[in-house]
């Protein structure tokens, strides 16, 4: 059982409105059928299960909101929601196509358990749910080579202010190499491009110590370099929440959900490994939060990282993630 004290608390624990910040968690897995995951999660959470489509279940009764269990495959979910075709022939063709897609997806496409935005003090409960599903047979990224399954979380921003969001981006980019080593990303997930790093020129621009744009400039610069969801830290949901028209003018992906959160996509889901839980990646993420909240340390770290990025051959001899570990984490001396 994982207690809440296993989770490091961030320096900004409340929103600008004075509410405890919330975090949404998304877990991809297989090894259990859709209805098994829904039943087990509902049993653990004290919720009831509602079938919303052939490939989606809603868990109702949590004061934080609905939990979702779904097959993480957009086409099948869309087909599962559609009303049945009146023509018998059309119905047969449609059903056959859906069966073929489902057969192909089986074992490759994960089931996903998605929490509502949970208060920070409920993160320990998510780790307990993970252990409950593990005991029932849930499998994660390491179970087989084709399991490119991730664990994503969505920390609510302390405030939708350009300087705060810029600080988070700077801190994340400075710590990205260290985070990647810590996460030890599965090779299959690396090949999928879902968690691509940010482009080099964009990184160099962001870590300049005089780069503190207004919100419009911050969003425009991001969209120019990153018109995609496939980033380890996907900022599109947050930027869509702040300025939907600006984002939609550059990116038309219907999967972008508007919400006042960062969308951290880097970690694997190792749900079948004893002791694994959200707390491991969360505590690493808090290092980003702590660096973002410490202006002096952030400026020094950005300056050092900018020097490192400007090196050519010297970068082969200089291990930045080791320097981060030794100098730029909150506990470094």
Question: Would you give per-residue pLDDT tens digits along the chain (333 residues)?
Answer: 455 678 999 999 999 999 999 999 999 999 999 999 999 999 999 999 999 988 899 999 999 999 999 986 554 445 445 544 334 444 444 444 445 444 444 555 789 999 999 999 999 999 999 999 999 999 987 655 455 688 999 999 999 999 999 999 999 999 999 999 998 766 554 555 566 789 999 999 999 999 999 999 999 999 999 999 999 999 999 999 999 999 999 998 888 999 999 999 999 999 999 999 999 999 999 999 999 999 999 999 999 999 999 986 555 667 899 999 999 998 775
Q: How far apart are CA 85 and CA 79, in angstroms?
A: 11
Closest CA to 166 of 211, 118, 220, 113: 211
Task: Using the CB atoms, write b or e for 65-77: b if 16+ within 10 Å.
Answer: ebbbbbbbbeebb
Please report the pLDDT score of residue 92 as a whole number: 46
Backbone CA torsion sign across 143, 146, 147, 153? positive
Please report the pLDDT score of residue 133 as a whole number: 98
- List CB contacts of 234: < 8 A, sequence separation 6 or more: 263, 265
Please report the pLDDT score of residue 269 as a whole number: 92
Spatial contact of 190 and 174, defined as CB atoms under 8 Å apart? no
């Amino acid at each position: 059982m994982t207690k809440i004290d296993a989770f490091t608390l961030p320096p900004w624990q409340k929103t600008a409105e004075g509410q405890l910040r919330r975090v949404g968690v998304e877990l991809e897995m297989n090894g259990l059928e859709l209805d098994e995951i829904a039943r087990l999660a509902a049993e653990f959470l004290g919720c009831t299960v509602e079938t919303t489509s052939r490939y989606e279940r809603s868990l109702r009764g949590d004061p934080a909101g609905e939990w979702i269990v779904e097959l993480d495959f957009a086409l099948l979910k869309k087909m599962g929601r559609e009303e049945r075709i009146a023509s018998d022939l059309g119905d047969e063709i449609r059903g056959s196509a859906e069966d073929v897609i489902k057969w192909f997806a089986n074992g490759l496409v994960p089931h996903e358990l998605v929490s509502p935005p949970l208060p920070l003090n409920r993160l320990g409960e998510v780790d307990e749910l993970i252990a409950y599903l593990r005991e029932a047979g849930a499998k994660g990224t390491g179970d087989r080579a084709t399991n490119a399954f991730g664990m994503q979380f969505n920390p609510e921003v302390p405030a939708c202010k350009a300087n705060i969001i810029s600080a988070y981006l700077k801190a994340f980019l400075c710590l990205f190499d260290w985070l990647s080593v810590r996460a030890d990303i599965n090779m299959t997930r690396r090949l999928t491009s879902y968690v691509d790093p940010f482009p080099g020129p964009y990184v160099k621009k962001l870590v300049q110590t005089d780069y503190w744009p207004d919100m419009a400039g911050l969003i425009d610069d991001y969209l120019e370099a990153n018109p995609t969801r496939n980033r380890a830290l996907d900022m599109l949901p947050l930027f869509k929440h702040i300025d939907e028209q600006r984002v939609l003018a550059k990116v038309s992906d219907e999967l972008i959900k508007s919400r006042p959160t960062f969308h951290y996509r880097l970690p694997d889901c190792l749900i079948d490994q004893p002791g694994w839980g959200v707390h491991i990646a969360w505590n690493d993420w808090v290092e980003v939060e702590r660096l973002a909240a410490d202006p002096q340390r952030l400026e020094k770290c950005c300056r050092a990282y900018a020097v490192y990025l400007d090196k050519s051959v010297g970068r082969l001899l200089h291990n930045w993630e080791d320097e981060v570990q030794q100098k730029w984490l909150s506990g470094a001396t």
